[in-house]
Amino acid sequence: MTAADTKSDTMTGAPIPRREAARLVAGKGHYTDDIDVAGLLHVAFLRSPYPHARIDRIDVAAAQDMPGVVAVLTAADLARVCAPWQTKLALLPSHVSPLQSPLADGEACWQGEAVVAVVAATRALAEDAAERVTIEWSELPAIPDMTSAAAPGAPPVNSAMANNLGLDHAITTGDPDAAFRDAAVVVEHDFSFDRQTGVTLEPRVILAEFDPRLGQLTVHHSHQVPHQMRDVFAAQLKLPLAKVRVVTPDVGGAFGLKIAAYPDEMAVAAIAVLLGRPVKFCADRLESFISDNHAREATVKGRMAVDAEGKLLAMDLSVVSGFGAYSAYPRGSVGEALQAVMMAAAPYRMKSLRGRVRGYFQNKPPSGVLRAVGQPIATTVTEQLLDLAAQKLNLDPAEIRRRNYIDAAAVAARSAGGVVLSELSLERCHDRLLKLMDYDALRRDQQSLRKAGVYRGVGLAAFIEQTAVGPQLYGPQNVRASAQETCRLTLEPDGSLTCASSITDQGQGTRTALTQIVADELGVDIDTVQITTGDTQSTPFGGGAWASRGAALGGEAALRAARRLKQSVLTIAASLLQAETSALRLSGGVISNTAGLPQMTIADIAATASFKAHLVPLGELPPLEITESFAPRELPYVAANGIQAAYVEVDPELGTIRVLGFWVVDDCGRVINPLLVDEQIRGGVVQGIGAALYEQCIYSTDGQLENGSLADYLVPMAGEMPDIFIAHMETPTSATTLGARGVGEAGTVGAAAALWTAVNDALAPFGAVMTVQPFTPERVLDRIALAGTPPHDL
């Protein structure tokens, strides 16, 4: 037997004959000799129908004998090549997730957890065979909701856990007790946010191929962070990092959903290593609902103290968050809950804050990252409490906000939650918004229409968006997630430019923005710049796409590389022309002198340096390939800011809500591409509309998802999208040379909050206040009925 006929068991180092790899695993695998060995295989997963159950016995014999089946694999099979993992956060030692494997090992902890992988020549054949697998189950108590998970003596969500508490964290700043004692007005409100999922246009997809001769794993992946996943695959499959390549081409949407290491995707990579064959899995829409990470499930009890002038004194928040069955790997599931407290009142002057955050594991899919991570919750709670305080003080909602904006226009400041703020434009955004929407006219129309029995509401939401997050977030937690972004910029021999960036693109248009930055700085046509992203073999190391970093950090790295390359080009040109570098200009791909006379082209420089370097009268040729990395050092992130407004109409007889208009004024620093920026904001707003009015994962009391299809899980479509008017303040950040802040999450941070305040403003004549998101017609009617107050003028 030759080396080409074998491959190594990556856990033990023992060689496994390639043709026998599948059937040697506990006698369960099956390999069919009449299948093309080199052909692409497909995986279908048999998933748990129970939210919590013990796996007593798995019989795969009938599935093995189905046509086209190559292997039928369980957790024990994949354990030979893939180690289990566990999410841990160094600064939160109490947050420890159970060990997790690619396939459920002895116990399924949510409806939809993958238990058996069937590998076949086609997806259809794999699905047919999966139906022939027999599993004997013993149902265990299911804990789907946070109240049940927190109950004393509650059964554990996972038998490896002592209890279901996954996080208990408290923060206090200032003197909240004194602030509430001395306040002129104290308001309080309960908030509930239903569980959502990302519903990306392109579902999760992975194609993994392992070459046993080279020991090389290549993974094509619909993902946001290829370098992170390269590290994860190498660690769990015990492969050298140099032997793992991850390719993430243009990805059809991600929203944070594609930032985690999913167990079924780890299974696909493990199967490729085990079989030595290319293997593909694409989550169909139905299984996406029960296997994709969820987010946003939380309840908040909030209180706010203000003085007689409407000045904000303190907030007191109690947040309970649902984590699902496991903490998402490797970044954890705590971000939503922690941000809900830390980002509270971030745009405002407030000295005191008390917050307690608790998170509980549940028999549901894990919760993870979704666009803006906790910031929409913090903004909603803050803005709704502000409106309640304004109502008690008989202040206009716009005025109470104006009186409280934090002064961070010139010098850095910190919010009560510790958010670092610098060079903001909150008051300017506020004034621009009121003019843009004609606030006073809308208020007059609102009052006149109420007399005619038409109930409209105006809602405002000021916001801070955390962007361009640096190494201070994950580094101290010992989470292996890079915060730097890198650009490698090369002047090719023909005068074209190749820009390889660690940034990835899921529809944001980041590649276009980087192209513009490079072309503008070097003074060349945009068509001469080629961008390469999303391939760990051909792009430099970096973070990828998360926390609105594409232009802010990736663009900064590209700008720095372009400036250095420009200096190299002009230095070579100056030596050839016997001129001073400062006397030359580069524009339109042409190098000119101070008189504006063309001297040579950038292509001339490239050709001379590449093929006739002996003609360059320099002791050392300046580099024409530049690599620059950047991560913020002085600040943990770069804060952006803005304000949003919604105008809605509520039908008190039907409970329906129409969004009549929406306005955003945003300050994301230097705007590189106005069209891309505006559409990112509009997309975020629509996602916020979905959260506030439509989207919810509905679970039965025994943990079964009841609306796991797009026929039942509602998302806003064209008919639900209002006109969204956008304006900008441009305050370049001094934290970077480029001056750009992030913008990808801005729309989502404030949109739901603006709708909360608008809908409750419309319901004010009834004395009703919404408490549960989304605002379904049934919930609107219930709140009106509960208030029991006939409409009255305010």
DSSP code string of 560-583: HHHHHHHHHHHHHHHHHHT--GGG
Q: Say whether both 725 and 665 belong to one domain.
A: yes
Report the pLDDT averaged over residues 281-308.
Answer: 98
d(CA 492, CA 82): 42
Q: Look-up: residue for tokens 């962070």?
A: 225
d(CA 462, CA 645): 9
- Residue 20 has a pLDDT of 43
The pLDDT tens digits for 581-612 are: 999 999 999 999 999 999 999 999 999 999 99
Q: Say whether both 434 and 494 belong to one domain.
A: no
Q: Which of 583, 609, 630 is the last residue of a domain?
A: 630
Looking at the 3D structure of the chain, how many domains does it have? 3
- Phi, psi angle pair for 548, to nearest 5°: 50, 65
Helix (H) or strand (E) holding 441: helix 439-451
Confidence band, pLDDT 50/70/90 cuts, at residue 38: low
Q: Say whether both 520 and 644 belong to one domain.
A: no
DSSP E strands, 212-297: 216-221, 244-247, 279-282, 294-295
In a domain, 600, yes or no: yes
- Residue 634 has a pLDDT of 79
**Which residues make Cβ contacts (< 8 Å) with residue 181, sequence separation at least 6?**
none
271 and 73 Cβ atoms separated by less than 8 Å: yes
The pLDDT tens digits for 719-747 are: 999 999 999 999 999 999 999 999 999 99
Q: Which of 581, 603, 630 is the last residue of a domain?
A: 630
Q: Say whether both 551 and 661 belong to one domain.
A: no
Report the pLDDT averaged over residues 337-345.
Answer: 97
**Which residues make Cβ contacts (< 8 Å) with residue 713, sequence separation at least 6?**
197, 199, 289, 695, 696, 697, 707
Is residue 791 scored above 70 in pLDDT?
A: yes
Q: Which of 630, 665, 680 is the last residue of a domain?
A: 630
Burial of 619 (0-12, 13-18, 19+ CB in 10 A): exposed
Q: DSSP label at 583?
A: G
Confidence band, pLDDT 50/70/90 cuts, at residue 164: very high
Q: Say whether both 564 and 681 belong to one domain.
A: no
The pLDDT tens digits for 357-390 are: 999 999 999 999 999 999 999 999 999 999 999 9
The pLDDT tens digits for 634-668 are: 789 999 999 999 999 999 999 999 999 999 999 99
In a domain, 93, yes or no: yes
d(CA 373, CA 38): 43
In a domain, 686, yes or no: yes
- Residue 13 has a pLDDT of 40
- Residue 412 has a pLDDT of 77
Which tokens in the block code for residue 193?
Answer: 């946010």
Confidence band, pLDDT 50/70/90 cuts, at residue 790: confident
**Which residues make Cβ contacts (< 8 Å) with residue 716, sequence separation at least 6?**
686, 689, 690, 693, 694
In a domain, 91, yes or no: yes
Q: Say whether both 335 and 396 belong to one domain.
A: yes
Is residue 756 scored above 70 in pLDDT?
A: yes
- Residue 16 has a pLDDT of 42
SS3 content of the chain, % helix, strand, coil (to 5): 30, 25, 45
The pLDDT tens digits for 488-507 are: 999 999 999 999 999 999 99
> How far is the first Cα of the chain from the last one, in angstroms, to the nearest whole number?
88
d(CA 590, CA 738): 24
Is residue 779 scored above 80 in pLDDT?
A: yes
Closest alpha carbon to 458 in 483, 439, 471:
439
Report the pLDDT averaged over residues 541-568.
Answer: 97
Report the pLDDT averaged over residues 300-314.
Answer: 98
**Other CB atoms within 10 A of residue 701 CB:** 9
Q: Say whether both 419 and 528 belong to one domain.
A: no
Q: Say whether both 618 and 732 belong to one domain.
A: no
Confidence band, pLDDT 50/70/90 cuts, at residue 301: very high
d(CA 380, CA 459): 11
Confidence band, pLDDT 50/70/90 cuts, at residue 96: confident
Q: Is 170 left (phi over 0), alpha (psi -120 to 50) or beta?
A: beta
226 and 213 Cβ atoms separated by less than 8 Å: no
| CATH number of the domain encompassing residue 245 | 3.90.1170.50
In a domain, 192, yes or no: no
Question: Residue 750: which domain range?
Answer: 294-471+634-787
In a domain, 740, yes or no: yes
- Residue 788 has a pLDDT of 86
How many CA atoms within 13 Å lie on the side-chain side of 194? 22
- Residue 635 has a pLDDT of 82
In a domain, 174, yes or no: no
- Residue 633 has a pLDDT of 83
Is residue 680 scored above 80 in pLDDT?
A: yes
Q: Say whether both 116 and 259 belong to one domain.
A: yes
Q: Say whether both 413 and 490 belong to one domain.
A: no
Report the pLDDT averaged over residues 76-103.
Answer: 95
Is residue 9 scored above 50 in pLDDT?
A: no
Which tokens in the block code for residue 392?
Answer: 């008690």
d(CA 23, CA 44): 18
Is residue 17 scored above 70 in pLDDT?
A: no
Q: Is 668 left (phi over 0), alpha (psi -120 to 50) or beta?
A: alpha
